[in-house]
Amino acid sequence: MPDHALVLTLLSGDYSICRLASTDALPAWASTVGDDFVSVTRTRDELSIVAPSARVPPTLDQRSDGWRCFKVEGPLDFALTGVLASIASPLAAANVSLFAVATFDTDYFLLRAVDLDRATEALTRAGHVVRGA
């Protein structure tokens, strides 16, 4: 049993992870209200956007398609430790990589769609409750 048995909900649809120049304006397709999940992170080096694949223009050069997104049901207290470790550890043991994003209330993580069945099995074996998979 993990330190933190979590409820993990698989969001619908495929997601893309995109990279734009750090100086680019936030594109309209990344600021649409109503999607289950969109993440925008700007650093000195890049503008990184995670969004439903259907919203990402097919002409965008730097994008990685074929990702599925899980929400860790929350909200999670900031004092809670080991949440991501309790997810990452069984996934690593199953040879599944993840892309993690945190929000104020909770965590999200993406994994390649081709790894979904293996990941779901590993997370369930680790004691997590997986919904929607």
Query: At residue 1, does pLDDT exceed 50?
Result: no
Residue 133 covered by a domain: no
Q: Are 117 and 91 in contact (CB under 8 A)?
A: no
Residue 49 covered by a domain: yes
Q: Are 105 and 74 in contact (CB under 8 A)?
A: yes
User: Phi first, then psi: what are they for 114, rounded to 5°?
Assistant: -65, -20
- Torsion angle (degrees, nearest 10) of CA 41, 30, 63, 93: 60
- pLDDT at residue 133, as a whole number: 78
- The arithmetic mean of pLDDT across residues 87-114, rounded, is 97
- pLDDT at residue 16, as a whole number: 98
Residue 96 covered by a domain: yes
Residue 1 covered by a domain: no
Half-sphere exposure (Cβ direction) of 101: Cα atoms closer than 13 Å: 19
pLDDT tens digit sequence for 46-87:
999 999 999 999 999 999 999 999 999 999 999 889 999 999
Residue 123 covered by a domain: yes
Residue 2 covered by a domain: no
Q: What is the CATH number of the domain that holds 115?
A: 3.30.2130.10
3-state secondary structure of 28: helix
Q: Taking the CB of residue 101, how many other CB atoms lie within 10 A of it?
A: 16
- pLDDT at residue 3, as a whole number: 60
Nearest to 99 by CA among 117, 87, 114: 87
Total domains, the chain: 1
pLDDT tens digit sequence for 102-132:
999 999 999 999 999 999 999 999 999 999 9
pLDDT tens digit sequence for 3-44:
668 999 999 999 999 999 999 999 999 987 788 899 999 999
CA distance 101 to 111: 12
- Which residue range is the domain that position 58 belongs to? 7-128
